[in-house]
Chain A
Amino acid sequence: GAGVSQSPSNKVTEKGKDVELRCDPISGHTALYWYRQSLGQGLEFLIYFQGNSAPDKSGLPSDRFSAERTGGSVSTLTIQRTQQEDSAVYLCASSLSEGDTDTQYFGPGTRLTVL
């Protein structure tokens, strides 16, 4: 595709439910990132994939959060037993991973609202 796509664009869920957020990176990009953008908090790094492995999971806020990537392409971020503080915009980015100065290309995000 032309850019990073994310689905759904909006998700409203009830507290305690599980949600899955999907990210389709740019074709050929080996690195994939998840961020969370909360009001007034800027972007918070969650997790980074190189291929299908996640060398850096340091940003996941709790064990309710998990992510996987299959086939070196699509990634899914899962939040179990959602809480109201999980409400945020979840952004995905991908990069070619050609080096340390690699440019990250962002998707439009998924806005999650937990009631």
Chain B
Amino acid sequence: AQSVTQLGSHVSVSEGALVLLRCNYSSSVPPYLFWYVQYPNQGLQLLLKYTSAATLVKGINGFEAEFKKSETSFHLTKPSAHMSDAAEYFCAVSEGYQKVTFGIGTKLQVIP
């Protein structure tokens, strides 16, 4: 069965600092992996997805994530945080067949 663990339900960074949101997955087959962002009072928006092509995936708004099979990780990073990055971020895994399992989310706070 597929599952996702997001380490840290709340993360705070200073504006301009590195953003690192951690995600570890469990899957019985090569997975597809996603990061979604949810801004306050809005629906989820896809940031990026890994589909077994390049292990380093670049997404929107300067975010990227690296698939590391040996560590079963798919951490999300951004070199320099912006105030507008404050949101909740969800990591998700799929083994195909349309069923996606989401993590519990990480709320990112950006401090001026």
Contacts and interface: CB of A to CB of B under 8 A. Distances in A.
B98 A31 contact: yes
B51 A48 contact: no
Contacts, number: 58
B41 A100 contact: no
B51 A101 contact: yes
Interface in A26-41: 31, 33, 35, 40-41
B44 A91 contact: yes
A79 interface: no
Contacts of A91: 43-44
Interface string A1-16: 0011000000000000
A100 B94 contact: yes
Interface string B77-112: 000000000000010001011111111110000000
A100 B45 contact: no
A80 interface: no
Nearest to A3: B43
Contacts of A87: none
Nearest to A31: B98
Nearest to A101: B51
A106 B39 CA distance: 12
Contacts of B97: 56, 100
Interface string B22-43: 0000000000100010000111
Most buried by B among A3, A41, A91, A106: A106
Contacts of A106: 36, 43-45
A22 B17 CA distance: 41
A43 B43 contact: no
A36 to B, nearest CB: 11
Contacts of B42: 108
Contact of A43 (B46, B90, B94, B99): B90
Contacts of B32: 100-101
Contact of B102 (A40, A43, A50): A43
Interface of A: 3-4, 31, 33, 35, 40-43, 45, 48, 50, 56, 91, 93, 95, 97, 100-109
